[in-house]
Structure 1
Amino acid sequence: MKHASNPSRRADVIVLGAGIVGVSTALALQQRGHAVCLVDRNAPGRETSYGNAGIIQREAVQPYAFPRAWQAILRVAARRGNDVHYHLRALPSLVPALARYWHASAPRRYGPIVNAYAALIRHCIDEHAPLIERAGAQDLVSKSGWLEAYRTDAAFEAAAKEAVEVAATHALHHAVLDSAALAAHEPALRRPMAGAVHWQDPWTVSDPGELVARYAALFERGGGTFERGDAQTLRQSGSGWTVRTAEGEVHAEHAVIALGPWAAGLTRTLGYRLPLFVKRGYHRHYAVQAMPARPLLDAESGILLAPMRQGLRLTTGAEFAHHEAAPTPVQSVRAELLAGELVALGQPVEAQPWMGARPCIADMRPVVGRAPRHAGLWFHFGHGHQGLTLGPATARLLAELFDRETPYVDPTPYDPRRFGN
């Protein structure tokens, strides 16, 4: 990507992180007249934002809760199933955040969390739509929804019942497909399944990393600058902030930390202790002759098949491990075997599966707002599984708080001060 030059080496705002959250933040602030410098060590959209399922999940009004049933916890502990994997050596450092995650997932606490989460989710399509048009990214987007499919009758019937309730509560469009209807919808499936819930509101993206790159190009066309640099060099400088980039130091009155899973390290350096942890995930593309028409989640197996420009993307569930630990192929190997039961997988496109990390907060709500103890510093991270979905929506909220406008949603549930730092 072309790097714009700013001879004065000054900006109004430095945004650290060029994933979907950081790029959306830069655009939202630029739209309000601020001169923004976007900084990342890599090109936009090449880290966490590259490896997701490519779904703008309008239906995702319920964040992933920690399982409360002991049967489910013991299943994970015994490493049965493919939806969750963990590194035993990583658990001691993860226990404090996971304990808070479990605590927040209790039914009486989870209900208000869903309400706060849904308040943002309901705006996700409306906030993406103008960016997609302005960025010329319509060719990457489909509006045919995605499928939540099940192998067994019992699981399908329970999911269909819950879908009816969720859809009615949150004004969502969906269809319940029995086995025959699912086969008709997806002729690429090579074996019958019990059925699926077709979530019809979401939009899907055939190359999420490219979508972020086009948003970043839109930002640059509007006069914004993107520079390669190390976010860990951020420091207070006079009444503002300074970061080092490949083109020299950049100074600004304000800085926004939008580093996704890397936010934990920088905020810790600044003296904050936030319950941020990562769930790692893997994907690999396959050169198949017949792809599903839309993303299909094999819910009981913990894998998702997503048609992408690079081929059929096969994603795994969550892996609890140290962020920088070496990849472990356990889930990817199982995922390939399970997916091969559903579709005729061709040769893998990549030599090895891609690995990324989701930035998760123990109370399942993103962190959006002014840092509690540093003037001119802002936090914008912790979107968990829904960075692609929520990036533009939470960016609008942060920009409104930045300009002291009336926020379009109540910002209280996402305020960084909720952790007492």
Structure 2
Amino acid sequence: MPEVIVLGAGIIGVSTALHLRRRGHDVLLIDRKAPGQETSYGNAGIIQAEGIRPRAFPRTIADLWSTAIGARLDTRYEVGALPGLADPFVRYWRNSAPDRYEQIVREYTPLIRRAVADHAELIAEAGAQKLIRKDGWMLIFRSEAARDRAFRLADEKYAPVGVGYRKLDAAGLARAEPDLRQSLAGALHWTDPWTVTDPGGLVSAYAALFERLGGRIETSEITGLERQGTGWRIRHEGGEKTAAHVVVALGPWSGRLIAPLGLRLPLFAKRGYHMHYGMEPGTALRNWLLDIEVGYLISPMQRGARLTTGAEFARPDAPPHPKQIDGTEAMARSILPLAERRDPVPWLGTRPCTPDMKPIIGPAPSQKGLWLAFGHAHHGFTLGPTTGKLLAEAISGEKTSEDLTAFLPDRFL
């Protein structure tokens, strides 16, 4: 019988299993797919050292209206999903009020600022350096007004906490990205983040390290979780497993598994798409670029230029919708020499989110031996190793290297 079962083989679950195994625990990792093949596979591949300010709910009338009527490509709503989103959205809006939001930023910053170092430790041990670039990424601007607002925000909010960046005017951006089709207003170059040319491949490398250290991985659909004596029983399509400790790191599917235990957390999901493209002969995409005024990010990945969309709010079983990927592709082609699509259909994934923009990390209230690790929204890939290390410290009875109070699940219960 394993001492710990980790449910979920995305970067959160794999990192947790790996850090537990490094501390000598007997660990079994279970998921329905191979490691790194769900949400961790499809992200933009940035370890966001600058990501200290999570995405807030729109607060101005103009932003609320443009989002509500579907005028923005970075956000799409399916009408049928809105009733289920009402409560978390109201909480999200309240937590985005300036004073509350700045408190959340202060709580969030210590985790984000250590993320690169926590990844670096595992990258070196896993031998995954060939997947990593260390030259940051860029916000690009079509208008001088948007550029100057971003520059002011960087000076006011990022510089004081030591986040590194460079301000590029139109000529500076053209030198950094010489194959742009048109002149843009400039860019904000975040210099501290690392980028990854195959996010799913990095998770697979971490999983392979876990196995080399003696960890076990099983591919099976998880169907239930229940208390058994002083421990836990996991039901899955291959049978049952028991353990003293269980970590739930199933991303957007976590809430459904733990709800029968009375743990009803205000999770909601953001869906997102990506598509890979070739580049026209003689051209290249050199940097990770976020076209901030439109709402997509494009990355030079191993499979080609990966265009990643913003957020779609839809029912979990809703079919894919082409609006975001088609609309953002058209805007990307207006400034970049993209060639053919390289995927037969757009990839679709789901990000787990909380209404206070912070992940859930820690012990489940009144459920000894049950640990939760999900709700990281846009920063799951960034915070995988950090979350894994902190949770492994807690499970091992160590003093955690960061205070987890602000991230505990009981803040919602």
TM-score interval, smaller chain: over 0.9
Indicate which of 391, 399, 421 corresponds to 2:392.
Answer: 399
**Matched residue, 1:281:** 272
Is 1:200 aligned with 2:191? yes
Structure 1: gaps spanning 5 or more residues: 1-9
2:244 alignment partner, SS class:
strand
**Matched residue, 2:158:** 167
1:183 alignment partner, SS class:
helix
Name the aligned partner's letter for residue 234 of structure 1: L
**Matched residue, 1:4:** none
TM-score, reference length from structure 1: 0.96
Name the aligned partner's letter for residue 348 of structure 1: R
Paired residues, number: 411
**Matched residue, 1:376:** 369
Is 1:409 aligned with 2:402? yes
- 1:272 and 1:242 map into 2 onto residues whose CA distance is 17
Residue 292 (structure 1) shift:
2.0
**Matched residue, 2:314:** 321
**Matched residue, 1:365:** 358
Residue 50 (structure 1) shift:
0.7
Is 1:112 aligned with 2:103? yes
Whether contact under 8 Å (2:224, 2:257) holds in the other structure is no
Is 1:291 aligned with 2:308? no
Residue 407 (structure 1) shift:
1.4
Indicate which of 34, 40, 50 corresponds to 1:49.
Answer: 40
2:168 alignment partner, SS class:
strand
- 1:232 and 1:128 map into 2 onto residues whose CA distance is 31
**Matched residue, 2:332:** 339
Pairing 1:215-254 to 2, within 5 Å after superposition = 215-245=206-236, 248-254=239-245
Is 1:256 aligned with 2:247? yes
Query: Which string of whole-angstrom CA distances, capped at 9 and with x for unpartnered residues, describes residues 227-260 of structure 1?
Result: 0122332222222112245654322101000011
Is 1:270 aligned with 2:261? yes
- 1:335 and 1:112 map into 2 onto residues whose CA distance is 33
2:214 alignment partner, SS class:
coil
Name the aligned partner's letter for residue 404 of structure 1: G
- 2:102 and 2:338 map into 1 onto residues whose CA distance is 40
Residue 103 (structure 1) shift:
0.8
**Matched residue, 2:78:** 87
Whether contact under 8 Å (1:229, 1:244) holds in the other structure is no
Whether contact under 8 Å (1:29, 1:399) holds in the other structure is yes
- 1:90 and 1:336 map into 2 onto residues whose CA distance is 25
Whether contact under 8 Å (1:228, 1:246) holds in the other structure is no
Is 1:69 aligned with 2:60? yes
Identity %: 50
Indicate which of 341, 348, 355 corresponds to 2:348.
Answer: 355
Whether contact under 8 Å (1:228, 1:245) holds in the other structure is no
Whether contact under 8 Å (2:223, 2:237) holds in the other structure is no
Whether contact under 8 Å (1:288, 1:312) holds in the other structure is yes
- 1:45 and 1:314 map into 2 onto residues whose CA distance is 19
Residue 166 (structure 1) shift:
2.6
Residue 165 (structure 1) shift:
2.1
TM-score, reference length from structure 2: 0.98
Whether contact under 8 Å (1:227, 1:247) holds in the other structure is no
- 1:239 and 1:117 map into 2 onto residues whose CA distance is 34
- Of 248-257 and 102-111, more deviation after overlay is shown by 248-257
Query: Which string of whole-angstrom CA distances, capped at 9 and with x for unpartnered residues, describes residues 10-61 of structure 1?
Result: 1010000000000000011111110100000001000000111100000000
Name the aligned partner's letter for residue 66 of structure 1: F
**Matched residue, 2:49:** 58
Residue 64 (structure 1) shift:
0.5
2:340 alignment partner, SS class:
coil
- 1:192 and 1:322 map into 2 onto residues whose CA distance is 39
Name the aligned partner's letter for residue 164 of structure 1: D
Residue 404 (structure 1) shift:
2.1
Query: Which string of whole-angstrom CA distances, capped at 9 and with x for unpartnered residues, describes residues 162-193 of structure 1?
Result: 11223322201110000000000001211111
**Matched residue, 1:5:** none
Is 1:186 aligned with 2:177? yes
Name the aligned partner's letter for residue 196 of structure 1: A
Name the aligned partner's letter for residue 210 of structure 2: F
Structure 2: gaps spanning 5 or more residues: none
Whether contact under 8 Å (1:83, 1:318) holds in the other structure is yes
Name the aligned partner's letter for residue 131 of structure 2: L
- 2:307 and 2:284 map into 1 onto residues whose CA distance is 11
Q: CA RMSD in A?
A: 1.1
- 1:247 and 1:127 map into 2 onto residues whose CA distance is 34
